[in-house]
Amino acid sequence: MLTLYFSPGACSMASHIGLEETGAPYEEKPTLLAKGEQKTEAYLKINPRGKVPALSVDGKVITENTAILTYLARRFPEKNLIPADPVEEARCIATMAWFSNVVHPSYQRCLRPERFAEGEAAQATVKETGRKSFWANCQEIDSLLRGKEWIMGDQFTVADGYALVFYGWGVRAGFPMNELGYYTAWKDRMLKRPAVRKILESEQNVLVTKA
C-alpha cells in the first residue's frame, strides 16, 4: 500500500503529481502545514524532521521529493517517468536535486526570512536576496525548457511535476511568471495532462483557481 502525506500548496505537490501519474492506487493523508499538523507526535513518527512529503510503502517511509519520485519512477517502469538511459536518468535526478537544494531554499528565504536571520533589517535583506535568487532560478528553468517539450526533452518525467511547484509559487508570490515564455508554454502543456490537472484541482492550486 502506498500512502502519501502531503499539504496542499507545498512542495509535496511534486510527489502528489508523480504518484498520480503512475496510475497506481494510493491513500492520501493531508497533513496541513497551516495547522501545524507536520509537528504532531503522530506525524513525527512518520517523518521525524516534520516535513512533507512522506511516502509510506507498506509501512516503510521514504522522505524527500527527489527520493520519492525516483522510487516511483523505478517502481512503475512501464509508465516511463524517468529516462531509461543511465546517464539521462542521472541527469534527471540531478535536476530534481537542484530543485530541492537550490530552487526550493531560495523561495523559503522570500517566504520565511525569520528562519534565516534575526532582526528586521537582516530579515529584509534575506527576503530581498531570496527573491532575486528565486527569480534567477525561475529564469534558469525557463532556459532549460528552451526548444523542449518537457524538462528532459521529449519525455515527460517526474521532474516535470516538481518544476510545476515553483511556477505556482512564483504566481502566488506575485512574480511576473508569464514573462518566462518557455516555462509558461510548458506550464500550459502540463495543465493539459489529466493527472496534473486532477492534483492541481484537488489541492486548489493557484494555477487552476486564478483565472
Ligand X SMILES: N[C@@H](CCC(=O)N[C@@H](CS)C(=O)NCC(=O)O)C(=O)O
Closest CA to 138 of 101, 92, 107: 107
Nearer to ligand X, 30 or 50 (CB): 50
Closest CA to 71 of 86, 59, 56: 56
Answer left, alpha or beta for residue 148, where phi above 0 means left and psi between -120 and 50 means alpha.
beta
Nearer to ligand X, 114 or 120 (CB): 114
Q: How far apart (Å, rounded) are the C-alpha atoms in residues 168 and 151?
A: 16
Cell of 107: 523561495
**Minimum distance of ligand X from residue 192's CB (angstroms):** 25
Closest CA to 100 of 34, 190, 12: 12
Q: How far apart (Å, rounded) are the C-alpha atoms in residues 137 and 156?
A: 21
Q: Counting beta carbons within 10 angstroms of the beta carbon of residue 96, is it exposed (0 to 12), middle (13 to 18) or buried (19 or more)? A: buried
Nearer to ligand X, 11 or 141 (CB): 11
Nearer to ligand X, 117 or 149 (CB): 117
**Minimum distance of ligand X from residue 108's CB (angstroms):** 7
Tell me the CB-side half-sphere exposure of residue 57, using CA atoms within 13 A.
Answer: 10
**Minimum distance of ligand X from residue 113's CB (angstroms):** 14
Nearer to ligand X, 97 or 182 (CB): 97
**Minimum distance of ligand X from residue 176's CB (angstroms):** 22
Nearer to ligand X, 64 or 203 (CB): 64
Task: Give 100's contacts (C-beta < 8 A, 6+ positions apart).
Answer: 64, 65, 66
**Minimum distance of ligand X from residue 63's CB (angstroms):** 6
**Minimum distance of ligand X from residue 107's CB (angstroms):** 9
Q: What angle do CA 67, 107, 153 make, to 5 degrees?
A: 55
Interacting residues with ligand X (CB under 6 A):
10-11, 33, 38, 50-53, 64-65, 100
